[in-house]
Amino acid sequence: MTGNSYYYRKIHSLLGVIPVGFFLVEHLLTNYEAFNGGHAAFIEQVEWIQGLPLVFFLELFGIWLPLLYHGVYGLYVAFQSKNNVQRYGYFRNWMFMLQRVTGVITLVFVTWHFYQTRFQVTLGNVTHEEFGVLMHNIFTNPVFFTLYLIGVLSATFHFCNGMWSFLVSWGITIGPRAQRISSYVWMGVFVIMSIMFVLTMVAFTDSQFQDTSVLDMAAKR
């Protein structure tokens, strides 16, 4: 693997932005409808996505296989890297270490989240209309809420800090000034995305997500 590590890392970096990064943003916007529009708006968004042509193949080749490569190779990189934050306490060294740590947390979290949600739909245990109820049951559990909070913040940080690294490694932000501005921009994006995710999580705890009766009333209007 050493001889081709440059190309493996480039593919790993690219897949972290396209399509995995795009999926994270889309996931945020879809789930944010729970806060922005309530139960009916959230389910409407879910059904729109599931109604896309060849959605299974879009998910398989556009999300899960790229995510698998990015996650597995990321684990290899994380355990091969040598962190030196105790000796060199520079800001970017800390970001380097946090990128590896949040990468591991994110991989575990996404696997668990996939099992709790998408895999249950595949097994026929949950329908798309019951997605809101499922998320309500998850987020009204304090332990799950805390674990999801850690997972969501880790995934968001990993994406935003990864975008900074992507722009540097691909020669887009050249020079200290450009890289410093990029740091401010992506940390700002991290704060905004984190707030939106937390608002979404809190929204799912609302009583309107306890059952699908709200959807029935919306359908009758």
pTM: 0.88
Q: Does residue 72 sit within a domain?
A: yes
Q: Does residue 30 sit within a domain?
A: yes
CB-based contact 120:126 (threshold 8 Å): yes
Q: Tell me: the pLDDT tens digits for 108-133?
A: 999 999 999 989 988 989 998 899 99
Q: Kindly indicate the confidence band of residue 3, based on its pLDDT and cuts at 50, 70 and 90.
A: low
Query: What gap in Å lies between CA 97 and CA 89, rounded to an integer?
Result: 11
Q: Does residue 34 sit within a domain?
A: yes
Q: Report the 10 Å Cβ neighbour count for 122.
A: 11
Domain that holds residue 138: 5-212
Torsion of CA 112, 117, 123, 129, to 10 degrees: 170
Closest CA to 158 of 218, 97, 72, 217: 97
pLDDT at 13 (0 to 100): 87
Q: Tell me: the pLDDT tens digits for 139-152?
A: 999 999 999 999 99
Q: Kindly indicate the confidence band of residue 95, based on its pLDDT and cuts at 50, 70 and 90.
A: confident
Q: Tell me: the pLDDT tens digits for 72-86?
A: 888 887 777 666 555
Q: Does residue 119 sit within a domain?
A: yes
Predicted confidence (pLDDT) at residue 1 exceeds the cutoff of 80: no
Q: Does residue 88 sit within a domain?
A: yes
Q: Does residue 217 sit within a domain?
A: no
* Residue 35, token pair as written in the block: 């806060």
What's the domain count of the chain?
Answer: 1
For the chain, give the percent of residues with pLDDT over 90.
52
pLDDT at 7 (0 to 100): 83
> For position 43, which CATH number holds?
1.20.1300.10
